[in-house]
Amino acid sequence: MRIWIIVAVAVGLVFTAVLVTVTVSSVVTNQAQQLSRFRMANCNAAIGPWADAMGDAAAGAGQVQRLNPDQRAIAAQIIQIGKDRQLPPLAWQVAIQAGMQESSLTNVTHGDAAGPDSRGIFQMRFTMGWGTEAQLLDPVYEINKFYDVLTKIPNWQQMRPGDAAQTVERSAFPDAYDKWEAMAADLIKSVGDIADPSGCGTQLVSAILPANQAAAKAIAYAEQQLGKPYIWGGNGPDGYDCSGLVQQAYLAAGIQLPRVAADQYHAGSMLPVEQAQPGDLVFLATDKSNPATIHHVAMYLGDHKIIEAQDFGIPIHIRPFSFTEAEVVPQAVRPGV
């Protein structure tokens, strides 16, 4: 009798263990799927200047308040079609910035002196293969056509939104789209119902973005260069400039980076700078909302410290670092991810 009780208890324990294992595995799998969907739908740390100074966000909100109902309706249509196509909010941002610059979010029925054949929200040209004149006055067609072209651009999700808009539009004024970043981000928040336009909350970013497996090797290489002189254009081994140090450190870890700091900003996955982990790259810019003005790169070591080749007369060193320094760009970059 006792033997059967012992056997029954043992079998019960095994069954419970299996059930718990299956349940936990199911929960973990479900969480991973949710995070994957979250990343595809929402996560892009470069979207707009939302992590930047509150003044930019306030300016964007002010611009949105000045839109008339027809302009807001077109912005809402851009967002809704983007959602229907399961495109991330960054795509909506690019389209809104393009539409605002090209037509002030108006379905223009005529061209101008520069493009008499241009029509619609994005001033697409019916003589250049964008569609018929009638199609280019149909908002649904126009918006879908813009998204079709955007999503065929290699690495468009790693571009600044204005740069992606320019790649679609091929304007004679390539920097004109950038000024609408804050406004587009506010529309994504208010009309698109995205509470955090960056989509990368502090709770989820570490789970969404994989770790940089090469970071330890890159850091070790950089630390071996401590005390060597700053040399403009230096790639080692006798000395380095800021981007040369970073490039050679990651090359030692098997990852090829561009040579210039502003290009290194586009050479990996972006995340809010406050979420930087050891090995991530942090950047300084004269206009921290404009990556084109980046003039310095350093490697984050954790514990609010960076290693850098700073300037003439200053040896390569480790120094304290604050995410709130005046010129810190809001996004860090994780190479090789």
pLDDT tens sequence across 32-48 = 344 334 333 444 544 44
| Judgement on whether residues 59 and 185 belong to the same structural domain of the protein | yes
Q: Which alpha helices (H) appear in the chain, and where do they start and end?
A: 2-42, 54-65, 69-84, 89-103, 139-150, 161-169, 181-190, 205-208, 215-224, 242-252, 261-264
pLDDT above 90 for 27: no
Dump pLDDT digits (tens) for 128-181: 888 888 888 899 999 999 999 999 998 887 787 888 999 998 887 888 888 898
Boundaries of domain holding 249: 210-335
| Judgement on whether residues 127 and 177 belong to the same structural domain of the protein | yes
Asked which of 190, 220, 235 is the last residue of a domain, the reply is 190
195 assigned to some structural domain: no
| Judgement on whether residues 180 and 255 belong to the same structural domain of the protein | no
**What is the residue whose two structure tokens read 């999700």?**
157
Dump pLDDT digits (tens) for 280-291: 999 999 988 788
| Judgement on whether residues 173 and 77 belong to the same structural domain of the protein | yes
| Judgement on whether residues 221 and 331 belong to the same structural domain of the protein | yes
Question: What pLDDT is attached to residue 260?
Answer: 95
220 assigned to some structural domain: yes
Q: Which of 89, 56, 97, 47 is nearest to 287 (CA)?
A: 56
| Judgement on whether residues 118 and 223 belong to the same structural domain of the protein | no
37 assigned to some structural domain: no
The CATH number of whichever domain residue 237 belongs to comes to: 3.90.1720.10
| Judgement on whether residues 62 and 162 belong to the same structural domain of the protein | yes
Looking at the 3D structure of the chain, how many domains does it have?
2
Q: What is the biggest distance separating any 2 CA atoms in the chain, rounded to whole angstroms? A: 99
**What is the residue whose two structure tokens read 């260069």?**
225
14 assigned to some structural domain: no
Q: Which of 262, 335, 336, 330 is nearest to 46 (CA)?
A: 330
| Judgement on whether residues 68 and 170 belong to the same structural domain of the protein | yes
Model pTM score: 0.52
